[in-house]
Amino acid sequence: MITVALAKGALLRESVERFKLADLDFSAVLDPDNRQLMVPSVCGRARALLVRNGDVPVYVAYGQAQLGVVGYDVLREHQMPVAHLVDLGFGGCRLSVCVKSSSGYRRATDLPPHCRVASKFTRCARQYFDSIDLPVELVHLTGSVELGPITGIAEAIVDLVATGRTLKDNGLVAIEDLFHTTARLVGHPLSLRLDQGELQQVIETMDAPERKMVSTT
């Protein structure tokens, strides 16, 4: 049986739709009344684990799921030993350095040395600021990172930006992008090596969904 780790939240609906093209229908996880965390597919040959976004690569790395869908930002931050298989293309946004609109900063290099920067992505932020040779103090926050500059706990933040609406509503602006991120299909390396073709068929379908769409219309 194939076990798939699906992330709750923004990526879930499109992840379910993409797996459906590979004849793995996990639509039950979209039911607002569903309280199950392990849901069988309609065909009965697979099951989905409904987990937090950051836990997807953990379940895949430890072999409790053979496949998973997770944001590239999570893969960069946690760096778990999983196989990167397919850029699925949806869930696009960017990880950016953001500051108060009134700050006068226009680039990350404008920030003063040793200032505080708040983020959920402290590993990515550290790598970035090291790459531009700017020493900063990182403050790890797990939610409402936008409050950092507003309250003064931090001079800047490093956070995901999609439309920029939340930044604008809170008087913030993105001044530098670290990288762009989309949803990625990942796999358990050993399971892929031992695969008899079942996993590969799913991967190939998810890598070229337009061919599946044509064949079923």
Q: Identify the CATH number of the domain in which residue 149 sits.
A: 3.40.190.10
83 with 187, same domain: the answer is yes
Q: What percent of the chain has pLDDT over 90?
A: 82
Mean pLDDT of 138-167: 94
Query: Residue 122: is its pLDDT beyond 60?
Result: yes
Tokens of 139: 């403050």
Task: Using alpha carbons, select from 165, 184, 183, 181 the residue that is nearest to residue 173.
Answer: 165
Query: Residue 26: is its pLDDT beyond 50?
Result: yes
CA angle 199, 203, 207 (to 5 degrees): 175
192 with 210, same domain: the answer is yes
68 with 40, same domain: the answer is yes
Type and span of the H or E element at 123: helix 122-131
85 with 106, same domain: the answer is no
84 with 135, same domain: the answer is no
Question: What domain count does the chain have?
Answer: 2
Mean pLDDT of 198-205: 94
173 with 186, same domain: the answer is no
Determine which of 80-94, 144-158, 195-209 has the lowest per-residue pLDDT on average.
Answer: 195-209
203 with 156, same domain: the answer is no
Query: Residue 131: is its pLDDT beyond 80?
Result: yes
Tokens of 171: 């008087």
Supply the pLDDT for residue 61: 97
63 with 162, same domain: the answer is no
87 with 105, same domain: the answer is no
19 with 83, same domain: the answer is yes
Q: Do 60 and 187 touch, CB atoms closer than 8 A?
A: yes
DSSP states along 178-192: EEEE-EEEEE-HHHH
113 with 85, same domain: the answer is no
123 with 167, same domain: the answer is yes
Supply the pLDDT for residue 209: 57
Range of the domain at 47: 2-91+182-215
- For the chain, what is the radius of gyration of the CA atoms? 20
User: Strand 67-71 vs strand 183-187: parallel, antiparallel, or unpaired?
Assistant: antiparallel
Q: Give the whole-angstrom CA distance, residue 16 versus residue 6.
A: 8
Residues 25-40: b if buried by 16+ CB within 10 A, e if exposed: bbebbeeeeeeeeebe
Query: Residue 87: is its pLDDT beyond 90?
Result: yes
